[in-house]
Chain A
Amino acid sequence: MIIAIILLPLIAGLISLMVPDRLKGVKEGIALFSTIIGLIIAALLFKQNIMFTIPWLGFGIDLSFRLYHFSAFILLAIAGFGAAISLYSVAFMWGKEKLNQFYAYFLLTVAFANGAVLANNLILMLFFWEGLLLTLFGMIIIGKKEAFKTAIKAFVIVGITDLCLMLGIALTGSLADTFTMSMISLPTSGLGALAFVLLMIGAIAKAGSMPFHSWIPDAALDAPLPFMAIMPAAIEKLLGIYFLTRISLDLFRLNPGSKISLLLMTIGALTILLAVMMALIQKDYKRLLSYHAISQVGYMILGIGTMVPAGIVGGLFHMINNALYKSCLFLSGGSVEKQTGTTDLSKLGGLGKQMPITFICFIVAAVSISGVPPFNGFFSKEMIYDGALERGWIFYLAAVLGSFFTAASFLKLGHAAYFGKSETANKTKEASWAILLPMIVIAGLCVLFGVYNPLPLHALIQPVLGAKLEGRDFAGLPTNAIIVLITLVVLAAAVLNHWFGVRRTGKGIGAADHIHYAPGLSQTYDLAEKRYFDPYDIGMKIANWLAKLLNAVDKAIDWIYEKLTVGVTFAFTSAIRWSHSGNVSTYVVWSLAGAAVAIIMVLIR
């Protein structure tokens, strides 16, 4: 069973790669079938504990899988999203090009993600992890024509962070003397801290945190939409946060007061704020969502980084919540794109009446992400606030401020897309059931996880912490009334801000213009949009400069070899040819002179 859940999508993916495009519906059938079977297997595996180990490569690298509550939970989530999104893809991708590649990469992604989650050996996990880099690249490159640039960008960024992960794994392995994850327990001091940071870079980069985020907004525009819903919105977040939690809780002994915890919280807080500020000014449905996909990771990292029970539970809860509403949001974006042909907010508007079900799903997901009670995002955010406040008011402030901008940007998005007017609005129809069904299911889960939060918390999340939970139970209503009150005030402020913005410009899309064009911010935004702050672009500039320098050095070396050496050699050669006149008396003179020199030499030594 445990192997089947990896092998099934793997084989299905390889088969669908071989299915020719002429046979319509076969690939879709394979994908749908294998993901639904996968979901059933994952459900059956849930609540089981399985340890599966056979020797593999030697050197402590075993084919070792471990199924326990945490991995079973992530497995179930991946399987659920896999099934929902494969159904969605059937409708969304129907008739598009390179479908065999799309389904192959999609199914391989599921297979590798399952493998990475189940792996109980760091090297084995790295194997699957790197497999995901491959499918990530493939998924982006089959998008639009210019997608290869984005694909390369993603490949470089993720590749570099995976290299960090690799180094981290090597270091961890040598420190712990084993690669078996369940046997590792290292202190975070000295080299241990370095190992942790390296592993952390791999984990948070996979989750899409700053500063390893900059490919995501580009991919949002270039890559096929289901990719965004499955990879950056769901699977990568699940995996990244899963691994971050594993290293923070199991592999390393982290303390709430440690510098590493502080580092994590700082990364989290910065990611929340910077990404959400960027999201606020976006004028494209998908690009706006992609910045939120980054921003929300900040909450999870902040939550886990607090290293207090409330924060960790909140972070993990937020992880699953985010996966739900973010994929739902992306799917709603896809639905709009499918029906109107665009995701440019300035061309959209008034879709609320024409696409009511999409609209309702969007509303549910948007209020969830904004943290409106009683939806799921509210509860997880409250816990993170709680944890952050325990560690320092500055982190709490960042989180709350992030919430304000999140709410503001979704008010803007909803207003611009679903209210108002546009030329195309009247001709647009509601999307097909295959597109709507996954959205409805996921939106329903958003409501369920909020209204009845003991279900996810008791069944999925709190067992992960085990003893670290300190016997507390976070299910039910938030305990800290003041935080809830502040949250509500912030949400109200967001609504007011939106009302002010719309009044000012008269359009939903202009709701954030007064922030966008505020003195000081305006110039910063301009630079950010021109990618002056993109670590990838900065890195590329340095790399280009280095490449030019090295090229010049290389040219010089080439010149020495190709021109100078050859030239000198042939100069000698022609001199020798010239001196060999063929005149025998010359040769006799040479011989006699040589003999004379030899005799003199022998005599004077």
Chain B
Amino acid sequence: MNYLLIFVPFIALVLVNLLPKKLRPISSFLVLLLILAAQSIFAALAPFGLIRAVGAVRMEHLFGFHLLIDNLSLLLLLSAGIVGFSALMVAWHSIKDEDDRFNFTNLLFILLIGMNGISMLRDLFSLYVFIEAIAVSTFIMILLYKAREAYEGALKYLILSVVASVMMLSSIALFIMFCGGTSFEVIKLSLVSSGALARIAIALFICGLFIKGGLVPFHGWLADAYTSAPAPVSVVLAGVVTKASGIFTLIRLLTAVIGFSPATKDLLLIIGAISIVIGALAALGQKDIKRMLAYSSISQMGYILVALGCGTRLGLIAAAFHFLNHAIFKSQLFANAAAVEEQTGSRDLGSLGGLAQKMPVTGITSAIASLSTAGIPPLSGFWSKLLIIIALWVSGNYFYAVIAVLASLLTLAYFLTLQREAFFGQVSVKVSSVTEASAGMLIPAVLLSAMTVGLGLVFPFVIKYFVR
């Protein structure tokens, strides 16, 4: 089962490219849709024991790395499935050119392989390889239309990714130097008697991941990349890609290898709190919907980070749950933004207004996702934020708990600004003849906001069976 998650997309990718040119776009779309749906269902059902999947498969004799699925892996598999599905739906309706569309699906295949790999890998170097695979396909994705501003966004991403790669590679080199290997088990064993060098290696790797995850002050590339990327790309980018390569790897690393030392906890808390505040404040000042959402992403990543910084089981649960919620509502918000841009041709809050009258479904789903992000009960975002705050409070980090609470007011402030400027109020001249987006664009939005509401309502159930 485990290796299927990597090989099925890979083989499918090869096969669809062998097909006659005319059949390629539609077949690749359908095959990827099928794979994503299957993966989502698998990941959602696995925790209930309906599908026996949890466990390790050793494949050292074949590839030199081994894959292991645990509940954390399932979390990423599910997120990747859901977000990939949404991005694919958005892409099918917003990418007009057939070749572009085919290229996008191909790249999405590679992204999927990369994320599935990250979710299961237990080897630092292999992890790095998959992260890079994701990064490379992301650069190309951002440049899908070869637009001028996309070059700038992709370039910034590329440059900072290189910085991250340098950090991670030097860290891996250090690990090899004093551990003699890059497998998690090996590193963990030798970390018991670690010196200053090991600490530097850890800090370097974490900082590399911070760049990948776009946390303040490592976030310079993020806003431009998200904003300049084509609509479906920003859905997948914001929803899961940066989180998978940055945050998820960090969680994996912390739980499986390095553990929570006081220094790492402080690092996580400080970087998290800075990200929360700066991200939220920056989002408040944005006029571009996607840019606002990008900064909001930074702020939400900060929440996950401070939850991790508690170093407690509750903090981990909160972080994992917020990870899933964020994947759902952020990809939905970007899908909404895509719908708005598709229908009005603009993302500028100043020129929009009263869209909820013209695009009721988009307006309502966007309101749900916004409220969920801001942590309004009973939506799922409320529960994860509540858990984060409780985790902070219980672990004695009162200062950070207060910041988390106050910053959620800022979150509410910028989302209300977004809702008011774009969807409520007077119908502006520019949007007076706008119609609702096509069904394909609405399916992911409706599906995702249904998940937001549903997860919020059955929250205890989710916590009990899924996020462990």
Contact = CB atoms under 8 A, between A and B. Distances in A.
Interface of A: 569-570, 572-574, 576-577, 580, 582, 584, 586-588, 590-595, 598-599, 601-603, 605
Interface in B135-166: 155-156, 159-160, 163-164
20 contacts: A570-B284, A573-B285, A576-B281, A576-B282, A577-B282, A577-B285, A580-B223, A584-B159, A584-B220, A586-B220, A591-B163, A591-B164, A591-B211, A592-B163, A599-B199, A599-B204, A601-B263, A602-B200, A602-B203, A602-B264
A595 B155 contact: no
Contact of B156 (A569, A587, A598, A605): A587
B4 interface: no
Given A591-B163, A602-B267, A605-B266, 15 more contacts: A570-B285, A577-B282, A582-B224, A584-B155, A586-B220, A590-B217, A591-B160, A591-B218, A594-B218, A595-B203, A598-B203, A599-B200, A601-B266, A605-B261, A605-B263
B229 to A, nearest CB: 16
A569 B406 CA distance: 12
Question: Which range contains the number of B residues in contact with the other chain?
Answer: 35 or more
Contacts of A572: 281
Contact of A591 (B155, B196, B206, B217): B217
B278 A576 contact: yes
Given A584-B156, A603-B196, A590 B220 contact: yes
Q: Identify the interface centre among A569, A599, A601: most chain B CB within 10 Å of its CB.
A: A599
A601 B106 CA distance: 42
A558 B271 CA distance: 33
Interface of B: 155-156, 159-160, 163-164, 167, 196, 199-200, 202-204, 206-207, 210-211, 217-221, 223-224, 261-264, 266-267, 271, 278, 281-282, 284-285, 410, 413
Nearest to B155: A584
A602 B199 contact: yes
Main secondary structure of the interface of B (DSSP, over half): helix
Contacts of B267: 598, 601-602
A582 B228 CA distance: 13
Given A584-B159, A602-B263, A595 B207 contact: yes
B282 A587 contact: no
A591 B220 contact: yes
B263 A594 contact: no
A569 B281 contact: yes
Contacts of B159: 584, 588
Contacts of A580: 220, 223, 282
B3 to A, nearest CB: 35
Nearest to A573: B285
Contacts of B271: 594, 598
A166 B284 CA distance: 51
Contacts of B263: 601-602, 605
Contacts of B261: 605
Given A590-B218, A591-B217, A573 B266 contact: no
B202 A602 contact: yes
Contacts of B218: 590-591, 594-595
User: Taking each of A572, A584, A592, A595, which has the highest tally of chain B beta carbons within 10 Å of its own beta carbon?
Assistant: A595
Contact of B163 (A573, A582, A588): A588
A594 B167 CA distance: 12
A387 to B, nearest CB: 66
Nearest to B156: A584
A588 B220 contact: yes
Contacts of A582: 224
Contacts of A587: 156, 160, 219-221
Contact of A573 (B167, B219, B223, B284): B284
8 tightest CB-CB pairs across the interface, nearest first? A587-B220, A605-B263, A573-B285, A595-B207, A590-B217, A602-B203, A594-B217, A599-B203
